[in-house]
Amino acid sequence: MKLKLNIWRQEDANAKGQFESYDLDGIDGDMSFLEMLDVLNNNLVEQGVEPVEFDHDCREGICGMCSLQINGEPHGPDRRVTTCQLHMRKFKDGDTITIEPFRAKAFPVIKDLVVDRSAFDRIQHAGGYISVNTSGNTQDANSIPIEKENADMAFNAATCIGCGACVAACKNASAMLFTSAKVSQYALLPQGEIEATERVLNMVEQMDKEGFGNCTNTGACEIECPKGISLENIARLNREYLSASFKG
């Protein structure tokens, strides 16, 4: 498969970036998108050109490290997959592929396609945890009965890998789907009740401080989320926030 790649190159966070075009040959349809970039980088290194920086780690859709806006969509044209799970068979011979970093004021570019997503960490630190007695008398979580429906919804919310595709897809660069998933996974469980009020207030406050946009319910985040995090979580976040505002 022959491809033409238009890739965003940016020396560092302060540099002005631009698109560079690369021709690539010999790409197999069974390669992952990141393996295709590995091939490109091998070629670039052999030519003495600085390789393209991009985030990756587990390469099996779990860690949330890989990102990339591919032909206008986060994680590319496939659904419910991360960039590392995207196969080149989704593209045709002769295609031109435009690869950009996730764009958001809260996700500044560090270099090339690598963005700083630590804003998500700070939202999580603001309240995405529960207090557990670790003195040696910790109660087994499984000993607390939890309604099956709630347990399932909490688990689904907890599958958010924090990749940032929701922000990248949203026309407003809103982080509501991420924040709502992190709030929901605790709001639905008895273990999360103790800090429930403070959690949602603090996480939303941090989300706003980071400079993310407002949710306008376009649903793009849900469609592009590799883990299929539902918009129900955003409605729950809104309920939790309003309830906490009146309590707090």
Partner 1 sequence: MSGILKTSIARKFAMALSGLFLVLFLAQHFTINFTSVVSPDTFNEISHFMGTNFLVQAILQPVLIFGVVFHFIMGFVLEIKNNKARVVKYKNYNGGANAPWVSRNMIISGAVVLAFLGLHFYDFWIHEMQVKYLQGDMSGLNAAGEFRYYEETVAKFAGQPVRLGIYVLSFVFLMLHLLHGFASSFQTVGFNNKYSKGLKVFTKAFAIVIPLGFAFIAIFHYINNL
DSSP state of 242: H
Question: 24 or 63: whose CB is closer to partner 1?
Answer: 24
Residues 172-211 that bind partner 1 (CB under 8 A): 172-174, 201, 204-205, 207-208, 211
Question: 27 or 115: whose CB is closer to partner 1?
Answer: 115
Nearest to 69 by CA among 107, 40, 31, 39: 107
Query: Are residues 128 and 182 in contact, defined by beta-carbon separation less than 8 angstroms?
Result: yes
Binding residues for partner 1, total number by CB under 8 A:
50
110 in contact with partner 1 (CB under 8 A): no
Report the b/e string of 145-176 with b at 16+ CB within 10 A.
eeeeeeeebbebbbebbbbbbbbbbbeebbbb
66 in contact with partner 1 (CB under 8 A): no
Question: 150 or 214: whose CB is closer to partner 1?
Answer: 214
CB of 99 to partner 1, least distance (A): 9
Separation of alpha carbons 85 and 218, rounded Å: 25
217 in contact with partner 1 (CB under 8 A): yes
Separation of alpha carbons 146 and 191, rounded Å: 10
169 in contact with partner 1 (CB under 8 A): yes
Q: Which of 197, 220, 226, 229 lies at the binding interface for partner 1 (CB under 8 A)?
A: 220
Strand pairing of 114-115 and 18-24?
unpaired
15 in contact with partner 1 (CB under 8 A): no
Among the listed ranges 29-37, 103-111, 122-130, 186-194, the one in contact with partner 1 (CB under 8 A) is 103-111
CB of 238 to partner 1, least distance (A): 4
Separation of alpha carbons 150 and 46, rounded Å: 54
Q: Which of 26, 29, 219, 228 lies at the binding interface for partner 1 (CB under 8 A)?
A: 219
Separation of alpha carbons 83 and 63, rounded Å: 11
Q: Which of 215, 226, 227, 229 lies at the binding interface for partner 1 (CB under 8 A)?
A: 215
Concatenate the DSSP letters of all residues of 33-85 into one string: HHHHHHHHHHHHHHTTPPPPP---SSSSSSS-----EETTEET-SSSS--GGG
Length of the chain: 248
Query: Which residues lie near partner 1 (CB under 8 A)?
Result: 6, 8, 19, 69, 71-73, 77, 98, 100, 103-106, 109, 169, 171-174, 201, 204-205, 207-208, 211-220, 223-224, 231-232, 234-239, 241-242, 245-246, 248
